Amino acid sequence: MNNAESSTVASGLAWFKSSYSGTEGGQCVEVAAGTAAVHVRDSKAVVGPVLTVSREAWAGFVGSAALESGV
């Protein structure tokens, strides 16, 4: 995991925000899937740091979150 990567390194990616995020901003993150990793950033600080995790780690996180939410 690399949490020090800047947004400029990941600027060529297509970023997506959850459909559950409102238009008012709030506590949102954006996610971009790269070929070897998944990148996560604060939607309010798009030029700030980017958290980078492996695709496998992201899949595990999403799977755990789905179990916790009952999806």
Tally of structural domains, the chain: 1
| Tokens 């700030």 belong to residue | 48
Residue 1 in this model has a pLDDT that exceeds 50:
no
Coil, strand, or helix at residue 10?
coil
| pLDDT, tens digit, 9 for 90 and up, residues 13-38 | 899 987 777 666 667 889 999 889 99
The whole domain housing 27 covers 2-69
| Tokens 């899949």 belong to residue | 59
Q: Which residue has the higher pLDDT, 64 or 68?
A: 64
Q: How confident is the model at residue 58, as a pLDDT?
A: 94
Provide the β-strand partners of residue 6: 49
